[in-house]
Chains A and B, each alone.
Chain A
Amino acid sequence: MAHILPTETQDAGPPAVDQQRRGPAGYLLLMPGSFWLALFFIVPTVTLVATSLYDPAGSLELGYKMTGHVQNYPTAIADYWEQIWRSLRYALVATVACIALGYPLAYAIAFKAGRFKTILLVAVIAPFFTSFLVRTLAWQYLLGDNEWFVSFLRWLPFTGADLRLINTPFSVVAGITYNFLPFFVLPLYASLEKIDHRLLEAASDLYASPVKGFLKVTLPLSMPGVVAGTLLTFIPAAGDYINAELLGSPNTRMVGNEIQDLFYAGDYPTASALSVALMVTIVVLVAVYVWRAGTDELV
């Protein structure tokens, strides 16, 4: 039937405005951002990679020599694989926690909040009005041994009287989760908000119960938001050191803490090698994740 419908071709392809779009204006608009990226991302990255190949025998006082010392990498990884692995684990657990807490929150704001939508969105962003450091210090207090929360938990019949939260893996992961939750909620909210409610009506009309409708329509359509949100959570969480520093113990040190210490100690080559190793690990993980999430969407 399609071949006898000449009108159908009208909306088949995009209109021919492509040529108009390509002009000097596009390049001009790209320039400030490109300049910024070149200055503050590409140059430092190149420097970082270069530093990671310096001879480790050098020091700040004596200066470093560029010797292409690739051995810095195996050394750094061998010394700190435990912290790298811990960072990835904490970041993963915190990301999962963000999904568990953030999805219902974003869903409620997008679909159920009605006129409270704006207020709730402001509430999600509100923590940003105080600094990251101050908020994390507040958690130090909240989870402290003699504070009401821990006292309350200790009072409960099924917990021991020696229960602690501060300086445990729990407090570090909880801190990371808390600090990065808005970065998960906001892109997910944007994704959910865009979903046409008529699709849910259609699902319901086609025998999908509310749960099925969510699983078959809402969830797949919100996947771009979930992917964006998890990336914005996982990536900075894996490199975070503030939460481990303020809420953790020597047993919860993350790779970020080690990198920081190495820099303070003046061991620039090892610090750089560790940084680059972490970066590459994250890039590989993210690439695999995005690729997998992309194919999942098609199923």
Chain B
Amino acid sequence: MESADLVLSGLTKRYGDFVAVDELDLVVPPGSFFALLGPSGCGKTTTLRMIAGLEVPTAGSITLAGEDIARLKPYRRPVNTVFQSYALFPHLTIRDNIAFGPRRKGMSKREAAAEVDRMLDLVELGEYSGRKPAQLSGGQQQRVALARALINSPQVLLLDEPLGALDLKLRRQMQLELKRIQVDVGLTFIHVTHDQEEAMTMADTVAVMNQGRIEQMGAPEELYDLPRTTFVANFLGRSNLVSGKVTRSSGGEVAVEVDGATVVAPAERAVSSEGDVWVGVRPEKVQLRAPDEAGAAANHLRGGVVSDVSFVGVSTEYLVRMPWGQELTVFEQNHTSSRRLRTGDEVDLSWAPEHTFLLDAAQDATAGTQIEDE
């Protein structure tokens, strides 16, 4: 463990009977862009507020660079927050808003002014320094909030849904901007969001939270490629989860019977390798084939009927009704090939074993699907 790590251990927050954060253990290495991803009410904001010092943990510790900061007052912690509502001081100019932290730490007016200029350059707001927050647009206010926190060079920068109030286009732009700034300044960023795309675009490491616990943590591509719970499979992107029964587990492979057919998955991609399992595959990993077409991949499910086709530009989204009644989703890139399937066409589904993952059948197959992107 490196000494500058942020370490949460056994961190718990209870409000009466409600457990908002449940014995969270987490290590965030310095300089990383870490995302806490989850639906609203999953405890991600509470976790962030405990790190900031705005909530007192019920139990557990928060250690930063070897020092337990869990009971320190927020103004004594080397962390700063970019608030969801920005919380800019309405009575102060942009310049004074940004200078607020350094001035409280005892920096002279002149020194602070030089720092503020540097920050204004970083967020490209120099010409607005004399204005009040209310005279700026949402995106500009967001950048002021960022500059106001960054100027303090905190050991950890906390971002609470910082882009939530922006419209989609601006949000995409700010994601790249934030990522660029994080690389530039090299600070640890902890970013709380309910937007899985945002988390995956920006973060080195994503922790998916659900009901006060971390479901799974890892690099975005790892999480996406190999979800370990049904919640992660559904919340992070989309997944087809089909009920199956393990028939054989040997030679680094697990074979599962699905509606009479056998599909195979590498053993290391199986959470559970006996009894009932969920067989999972991402929609874009599945290929549609004409019935009895040659050259099908190892995992092959027959007897599907196209029930819906929607064209979304770069790809086409198919819904395929399987013989057991379930509808599976398939994304197909719109390559030059002119083949277009229509509703009612008969198709087989086929995909490679290395794209298959097996999950615990005891988990709810719809976990994480009902949550709307706000």
Contact = CB atoms under 8 A, between A and B. Distances in A.
A97 interface: no
Interface in B147-193: 148-149, 152, 167, 169-170, 173, 177
B100 A216 contact: yes
Interface stretch (A109-117, A136-144, A205-213, A266-274): A205-213
19 contacts: A1-B124, A2-B137, A5-B137, A12-B137, A198-B83, A199-B89, A201-B87, A202-B87, A205-B75, A205-B80, A205-B149, A206-B100, A207-B76, A207-B101, A208-B75, A208-B104, A209-B73, A216-B89, A217-B91
Contacts of B177: 1
Contacts of A1: 124, 177
A198 B104 contact: no
A5 B139 contact: yes
Nearest to B132: A298
Contacts of A221: 90-91
Given A1-B124, A5-B170, A206 B104 contact: yes
Q: How large is the interface on A (under 10, 10 to 19, 20 to 34, 35 or more residues)?
A: 20 to 34
A207 B104 contact: yes
B166 to A, nearest CB: 8
Interface of A: 1-2, 5, 7-12, 196, 198-199, 201-209, 212-213, 216-217, 220-221, 297
Interface residues of B, number: 34
Contacts of B124: 1-2
Contacts of B94: none
A7 B172 CA distance: 13
Nearest to A205: B81
Contacts of A207: 75-76, 101, 104-105, 152
A205 B74 contact: yes
A193 to B, nearest CB: 15
A267 B173 CA distance: 77
Interface in B68-96: 73-76, 79-81, 83, 85, 87-91
B137 A11 contact: yes
A12 B128 CA distance: 13
